[in-house]
Amino acid sequence: MAKDLGIAVLCSLVRPEEKMIFDAFRARDVDFQRIDDREVILDLHQMSLPYRIVLERCINHSRALHTLKYYNDREVRTINSYDTANICGDKLLTSLALSKAGIPIPRNLVAYTPESALLAIEQLGYPVVLKPAVGSWGRLLAKINDRDAAEAILEHKKTLGSYHHSTYYIQEFIDSGNQDIRAFVVGGELIGAIYRKADHWITNTARGGKASKVELNTDLKNICEAAARAVLGDIVAIDVFETPQGYLVNEVNYTMEFRNSIAVTGVDIPGKIVDYVIECAG
């Protein structure tokens, strides 16, 4: 009989990541409930829940955020926590957490109007990267090379007018040869990392970047584990730039994809995730 530790996995579609996680639970003979976020009904009057620990694997950020808050308020331990999801879902909150913890990050400036954003861009010097505070997979990033481009894109964003475009998150452009590091931290420990190399400066593998193995070292371990602590993350992926001056943490992701990183790193990432969840449940 499989062991019942009160574990549940919250997700919607079963992508290869979730499938591998389910298989890892089964291989360890540990039961888990599946919670499909498309079927969830949160009853705010219900204060006790039939799980002790929930591994969150949602695709949809706001569903994850609200459900995690609901669980955490009801003493259900979630991996990751609501706080982590909240911080990592917002690039600005992530940068604030990292800078507060003294972790090296690229220079970032935030402004709220097109006028102040232009001043901020000129202060940083070209090129800069303009990011939406909320967003994923390298979408809606703009690299701005000169003042003409800055004015055009700020005008464009003002016209779009939505909330996410009224916070201008401006980052110095790090020339890392179209390459960055994605590092996987599970239970506070760096377990593996890949280089993502692209033909384009946006290196995300979801956009066709090529992956190769990173040999782990103490500096990388220290910065990645510190970044995970800064966002209170149980299981997070840290995006890191390698520069002549050392590593810089760019972003932290809380529901990471890893299907393309297992063979490259030689690390059983889903196995490590599941072992950690079981350890937390035990």
The contact set with other proteins (CB under 8 A) reads 11-16, 18-19, 22-23, 34, 36, 58-64, 85, 88-89, 134-137, 206, 253-257
Task: Outline where 42-179 has alpha helix (H).
Answer: 61-73, 82-88, 91-100, 114-124, 147-160
Q: Count CA atoms within 13 Å of residue 272 on its CB side.
A: 19
Q: How many CB atoms lie within 10 A of CB 234?
A: 23
CA distance 219 to 273: 23
List C-alpha distances in Å: 166 to 163, 258, 280. 5, 32, 40
Name the residue with tokens 């609901």: 70
Start-to-end Cα distance in the chain: 17
Q: How far is the CB of 10 from other proteins (least distance, A)?
A: 12
Q: How far is the CB of 47 from other proteins (least distance, A)?
A: 27
CA distance 196 to 177: 10
18 vs 180, beta carbon nearer other proteins: 18
Q: How many CB atoms lie within 10 A of CB 165?
A: 17
160 vs 206, beta carbon nearer other proteins: 206
Q: How far is the CB of 252 from other proteins (least distance, A)?
A: 11
What 8-state DSSP symbol labels residue 129?
Answer: E
Q: How far is the CB of 179 from other proteins (least distance, A)?
A: 19
134 vs 226, beta carbon nearer other proteins: 134
Q: Which residues touch 69 (CB under 8 Å, ≥6 apart)?
A: 82
62 vs 113, beta carbon nearer other proteins: 62
**Nearest in space to 229 (alpha carbons), one of 92, 108, 110, 80:** 80
Q: How far is the CB of 221 from other proteins (least distance, A)?
A: 23
114 vs 233, beta carbon nearer other proteins: 233
Q: How far is the CB of 38 from other proteins (least distance, A)?
A: 8
225 vs 257, beta carbon nearer other proteins: 257
